[in-house]
Amino acid sequence: MNTFLSKIIAHKREILKLQKETISLEHFKQNLTDRTPISLLSSLQQSANGIIAEFKRSSPSQGNINRSANLLKTIKLYEKSGASALSILTEERFFKGSLSDIKNIRDKTSLPILRKDFIIDEYQVYQAKQIGADAILLIASALSLNKCVQLSRVAHHLGLEVLLEIHEEKELEYLKCQPHIVGINNRNLHSFEVSIDTSMQLIKQIPTDYFTISESGIDNKETIRKLKESGFDGFLIGSALMQSSKPHSLLGQFTSPIIQ
């Protein structure tokens, strides 16, 4: 496993150990919420733009992005500006997220919420269900194929949808995880370098019956146009929106070429 990703995963294991000592997996299983998740896939399919707007305060590749951003205000702007869904970072150390971020906005929006985190244990899938997430992210480069399949099955069992993230050709075998959505990350988690060409090349090898989105490095209308023409159904946009002084205006610009 690469240096950057291994640091994140190592820290995640430490956090999980502490969380399990506080609230057991068995507790989650015995006290499952009866809330019916909102379908992320259906929301994206029925939208005019397929945009998942992301809230993140920081990242290991960019450092501080917008630590002072107001969560509720931001997601309301996303909602009003045409976002089809929300992605909320819950990773604590490197992205400055929190489980409470999803808890605090769950009843404040009708949009589906993707829990964006480094999910490596079924405990986190139950966590996602409990805090009100509608879908989880599974990152191929952070998981063995068997573990990915296992976590996907747990998510399906709980009624949560799975967004599978891949970055290179060898990870195409992870489609065996039966994801609802496939995301191609343009950011190399080994080096943090970003190239839209990653999406352009990998989309050619993904069966057309998958709903496919492009992630990372999407910050202008021309990029969205090219990706759309290449066959992408949707897009996950975070840093560009979080760094903008007028995210609602920028999001409106992003949706316009797709709608037209």
pLDDT of res. 175: 98
Active site residue 161: no
What pairs with residue 86 in β-bridges?
Answer: 53, 113
Summarised one tens digit per residue, pLDDT across range 132-170 is 999 999 999 999 999 999 999 999 999 999 999 999 999
- Per the annotation, the verdict on 165 as an active-site residue is yes
Closest CA to 2 of 164, 178, 146, 190: 190
Q: Write down the pLDDT at residue 65.
A: 66
216 assigned to active site: yes
The domain spans of the chain are 3-259
In angstroms, the CA 107 to CA 93 distance is: 26
pLDDT tens digits along 120-136: 999 999 999 999 999 99
| 3-class DSSP state of 2 | coil
116 is catalytic: yes
Q: Locate 257 and state its tokens.
A: 């070429």
pLDDT of residue 260: 41
Q: Do the beta carbons of residue 96 and residue 121 sit within 8 Å?
A: no
Please state whether the predicted TM-score (pTM) of the whole model is above 0.75. Answer: yes
The topology (CATH level 3) of 3-259 is TIM Barrel (3.20.20)
Secondary structure percentages of the chain, helix, strand, coil, to 5: 50, 15, 35
The answer to whether the CB of 145 falls within 8 A of the CB of 122 is: no
149-155 contacts: CB < 8 A, separation 24 or more? 149/176, 149/177, 149/178, 150/122, 151/119, 151/120, 151/121, 151/122, 151/125, 151/177, 152/177, 152/178, 152/179, 154/122, 154/125, 154/126, 155/125, 155/128
Active-site residue, selected from the candidate residues 12, 47, 49, 54: 54
Residue among 43, 186, 215, 239 flagged as catalytic? 215
Q: Is-catalytic flag, 73?
A: no
Per-residue pLDDT 10s for the chain (260 aa) are: 457 888 999 999 999 999 999 999 999 999 999 999 999 999 999 998 899 999 988 776 666 666 778 999 999 999 998 899 999 999 999 989 999 999 999 999 999 999 999 999 999 999 999 999 999 999 999 999 999 999 999 999 999 999 999 999 999 999 999 999 999 999 877 678 889 999 999 999 999 999 999 998 888 888 999 999 999 999 999 777 887 767 777 787 777 644 44
| Contact in structure between 83 and 47 (CB atoms under 8 Å) | no
